[in-house]
Amino acid sequence: MKEIRRTNLEIVGGLILSACCITSTWWLMRNNTVNAVKDAKAEKDKEHAEDLRRIEEQRQKEFQMFRSIIDSLLNNKEKV
């Protein structure tokens, strides 16, 4: 009798403990998973922003160069 009572209590205790463990693990995992995805994306986006900035600078330079070529061409035409 006593043994069954003790085993019953042990099983219920085990069930409560495992439920608590699983709940807390998954709660932590939930926050960590989304935050990890967010951090990874933010990191990647920063690199992407850097690349875009470089492209933008290059584009600006090319634009300035074309602009000066066109200006000089127009000036020459006016002189002619």
Partner 1 sequence: MTEITKAIQDWEEMVSHTDEVLKHRISVYEHSEAILSAAQEEFRFGSSLFNKKDMSFLVFACVLHGMAKYWIRKMRMMNDKELADMNPLHHEEHSTRMNNKYYCSREEIISNPVPFDAIVLDPEYKLPYWQRLKPGFKGTNHRFKALGHDPLLGLVVGTANIITSTITRSDFRSWHVRTEQHERLKRNGKMAIETLDTICEPASTIEMFKAIGERLDKEGKEGWITLGTALTKEVVHLLTDMPSLMSLPLPVISAISPDFAHKLSLYGINTGTIVEGTIANKIINFVVAFLHRLCMEEGEDERLYQARTSKLITVANLIATGGDLTVTLFQAYKGDLKAMRKFDLGGYMCTLGNLVSSTKLINQLECKYMEEKFKLELNRITFG
One of 59, 61, 68, 69 touching partner 1 (CB under 8 A)? 59
| Cα–Cα distance measured from residue 71 to residue 51, given in angstroms and rounded to the nearest whole number | 30
| Maximum pairwise Cα distance, the chain | 116
Q: Is 48 in the site for partner 1 (CB under 8 A)?
A: yes
Q: Is 11 in the site for partner 1 (CB under 8 A)?
A: yes
Q: Is 38 in the site for partner 1 (CB under 8 A)?
A: yes
Size of the site for partner 1 (CB under 8 A): 39
**What DSSP assignment string belongs to 23-57?**
HHHHHHHHHHHHHHHHHHHHHHHHHHHHHHHHHHH
Q: Is 69 in the site for partner 1 (CB under 8 A)?
A: no
Q: Is 65 in the site for partner 1 (CB under 8 A)?
A: no
Q: Is 46 in the site for partner 1 (CB under 8 A)?
A: yes
**In this structure, which amino acid lies at residue 47?**
E
